[in-house]
Amino acid sequence: MRQITLSLRDETIAALHRDFESFTRLSLKIDPQFITPSFEDFLRAKLLDNPTPLTEQAVQRMLTHGQYAWAKRALDKEFPDVVEILIRQAAEHGFSFAIRSDWTADDLIKQSRAWATAIVTEANGDASQIDVLASQIKSAAMDIREVEEKMQTPAWRLADSLRQRVYETKIAVEHSVGSTAREKLGELRCLLRLGIFHGSIQKQEAQQVLEYLRSLKPELFVEEPYDGFTRFANWLRSVFAPVAKAPRASRPAQR
């Protein structure tokens, strides 16, 4: 290796020492464990117009400690593990990672791989990370209904309230008669439709409830005509129909 000998004035050497001390002080302030270069390395960096001279030991420590450790793990193909840690810890701290409730198993696999591919591609990562990352995403995903129940979201509270109302109205239909029973049956049908819409009641479950009531009270499911003539006839019957009198109590026979 060729050497260059420099002859500098004392003022220049003093200025270089001040620069070196300033560089050392600032570096240690930012990172107390920073491994500073020697004064000769500092001069060499000045000569090569390198404003941030670093020794190999300093570079190694930066990549293995502190905030740079995450970068090293990513470069060492541990990025999928980092994503898995983020998702897992999110659930432990009140966050959730949800998927659509109507997805099949194939949909989940397809979408997990598509998302993993987009992440790795944008991060300029190794393509071999895609399958591992897709597996991590798939295993960490939760059905949106499970997330809503866990967090007791307004939608979940509404669905839970609908189930309770359906149960109470079903009991009311069973114990009511006449027009009251018909009104309760109409209310029950509306609640069942709302329950199906909000996902708190399955369509098959709603059909089973109605079939049970049909077998219990078939008269409620007979559609009555409700035209003008029928209403008038019902009114006449209510006016002219004889009122049933209560039976009179018999007097005791006199001796």
Residues 196-221: pLDDT tens digits? 887 778 889 899 999 999 888 888 88
Q: Which helix (H) or strand (E) holds 60?
A: helix 56-64
**3-17, 78-92, 113-127, 219-233: least confident range:** 219-233
**The two structure tokens encoding residue 248:** 């009179």
Determine contact, residues 65/35, Cβ cutoff 8 Å: no
Kindly report the average pLDDT of the chain as a whole number: 76
pLDDT at 255: 44
CA distance 216 to 210: 10
* Structural domain spans, the chain: 10-70, 77-147, 154-224
- pLDDT: which is higher, 230 or 119: 119
User: Residue 5 carries which side chain, given as an amino acid letter?
Assistant: T
Residue 81 has pLDDT above 80, yes or no: no
Confidence of residue 104 (pLDDT cuts 50, 70, 90): very high
Over 70: is that where the pLDDT of 241 sits?
Answer: no
Spatial distance between the Cα atoms of 232 and 216, rounded to a whole number of angstroms: 31
| Four-residue CA torsion sign, 40, 45, 46, 51 | negative
